[in-house]
Every structure is written in C-alpha cells, then in structure tokens.
Amino acid sequence: MRKGREKKMSNTASKKISTSNRKGQMKQVWFRFRKNKLAMIGLVVITILILACLSASLYIPYEKVYTQSIRDAFIPPFSEGHIFGTDQFGRDLFARIMYGGRISLFAGLVTIGIAFVMGIILGGSAGFFGGKTDTIIMRFCDILMSVPGILLSMTIVAALGQGLGKMLIAMSVSLIPRQARTVRAAVLTLRGQEFVEAARCYGTRNSTIIFRHIIPNVMGPLIIGVMSGIGGQILQIASLGFLGIGIAPPTPEWGTIISENQSNILFYPYLGLVPGLFIMVAVLSLNFIGDGLRDALDPKQKN
C-alpha cells in the first residue's frame, strides 16, 4: 500500500523533471555566484576598473602621461584639470594611473593565470602519479622556492633579457612552486578517496580522472591562493621596475608610481595614497571574486 503510493508519487515527479530542462553546470555556478553580494560588488568594480583603464586613451590624451612641467609640480588633488593632482615633475597623476592600470592589471592577471595553469599541471601530475614524477617535480619546486622570489625573477630576466613578456614569465615562475604545492597536497588527499577508485573501476582513464574528478575538487583552495597572490604581483612589478628590470620609469604602472614618488610621500601623501587606493581596490575586488568563485563552484553552497 505504502509502496504503491510512493511509486505513484515518484512517477509524477519524474515527469516534471524530464520536462524542465536540467540547469547547466555553468548556469548553476553563476546562479550561486550572483547570490554573493561582496563577490558581485568585486566583479562590478573590477570590470569598471578594467574598462576605464582600457579606454583611457578615449578621454585622456596620451601626452598628459609624460608631459613634464616644473611649474605644475605638486598640485594637490581636486584641482582644475588635475583631479588627482600632479607629481614632482608636474605629470598628471590621474592620467598616469589610468594608463598604468593597463600594465598592472594585465601583468597581474597574466602572471597568476600562468601560475594557475602550470600549478595544476605540475602539482596535479606530481600528486596523482607519485613516485619518481613526484620527486622530480617537487624537488625542482623546492629549489625554486629556496631562492627569494625577487632574486629569481631578476635572474630570469637577466638570462632572457628585458621586456614585458619576459618579465611576466619571470614573475610567474616564482609563483608556480607555491601553487604546485597547494595542488599536490589537495590531489594527494583526493587520490586516496574511494570515488577515484570507483571511477577507475569502470575504466576511466587517468587523464579523464584528473580533469573530471580531481581538478574540480581542488578548484577552491587554488582560486583562493591565486587571487590573494595578485596584490603581491602588482607590487612586485614595481620592485622589479625599481631595480631597473621590467617596466622602467617613466612608463607608468601602479607600483612604479608609488616607488617613484617615495621620497615625496611624507609631504604630499596623496602621491602614495591615490595609487595605493587603486591597488587596494583592485586586490580587494579580486579577493572577493575569488571567495565568491570558490563558494559558487562548491555544490555544498547550493542555496
């Protein structure tokens, strides 16, 4: 009697489900992401920032970035024609920040992108295959990690030569080992789980296991690691620039702007505050997005 009733119920239910389309995986992730207010704010802010930087040439003439005039030095913010004021050479801070943002954001995103992908590949194969593969990859990472990041980047730039692209490679290399470690640790715990064994039981190939079962499950810690690294990356471009490698002044870039104004910050704090604020907002937004993404990718946070 009871069983019959249950069966009837499930039949009607199954009809309902089959008519309504199953929501796509990406759609569900987007649905969950949208529920996170902070992440949405972060997404909106970073989008505005990127668009504003990219379209800078539409509303700021290019010459403004480099035009020097001692007469106009240290004009305070909110003055006519110089909304963020000017620096010691009389260059417009607003123009420099908007043009500089192109390099900073681009470099930041690209380096973490490279580190992200390489981290998955290296850490993933080290953790999954174990044995010799693991030893070789991880010892190599240990060597890279034992060298201070900035020194490593300098060495690589020295070997490869100057240029934005080469600098990006140099910076990502110093990020990869940490990323690879995170992935490897996560993969090691996952590899022993029974669901991986179950997949193997019906003949799933190693590559499929890695892409279908392992990587989606390590996404969370990975995204967080990568997103929180981006702020450091923006600042590191500056330090490299300061040392004369990579982006050299007078090319604007957020970190460089701070470092070239270092000596005047005490008397004209806005020179440090304004670009600092931009870095902070960008980093914070990206961190919020990272948090939101981690939660959205996790089906446990369904509602």
Q: Name the residue type at position 169.
A: I
**By the rule CB under 8 A, 17 interacts with other proteins:** yes
**By the rule CB under 8 A, 27 interacts with other proteins:** no
**Which member of 67, 155, 162, 204 binds other proteins (CB under 8 A)?**
204
**By the rule CB under 8 A, 13 interacts with other proteins:** yes
If the CB atoms of residues 10 and 55 are measured against other proteins, the closer one turns out to be: 10
Beta bridge partner(s), residue 301: none
Number of Cβ atoms within 10 Å of the Cβ of 6:
10
Query: Smallest gap, in angstroms, from Cβ of residue 17 to other proteins?
Result: 5
**By the rule CB under 8 A, 18 interacts with other proteins:** yes
**Which member of 57, 79, 193, 262 binds other proteins (CB under 8 A)?**
193
Buried b (16+ CB within 10 A) or exposed e, 110-137: bbbebbbebbbebbbbbbbeeeeebeeb
**By the rule CB under 8 A, 299 interacts with other proteins:** yes
Number of Cβ atoms within 10 Å of the Cβ of 145:
17
Paired tokens of 266 = 């005490």
**Which member of 26, 71, 161, 194 binds other proteins (CB under 8 A)?**
194
Please name which of 285, 263, 265, 287 lies closest in space to residue 275, comparing C-alpha atoms: 265
Residues 259-298 that bind other proteins (CB under 8 A): 297-298
Q: Please provide the size of the chain in residues.
A: 303
Query: Smallest gap, in angstroms, from Cβ of residue 291 to other proteins?
Result: 15
Instruction: Please give the DSSP secondary-structure letter assigned to residue 78.
Output: T
Residue with tokens 């580190």: 115
**By the rule CB under 8 A, 24 interacts with other proteins:** no
**By the rule CB under 8 A, 14 interacts with other proteins:** yes
If the CB atoms of residues 14 and 69 are measured against other proteins, the closer one turns out to be: 14
Cα–Cα distance, 228 to 174 (Å, whole number): 15
Contact footprint for other proteins (CB under 8 A): 2, 9-10, 13-14, 17-18, 22-23, 193-195, 197-204, 208, 212-213, 216-217, 297-300, 302-303
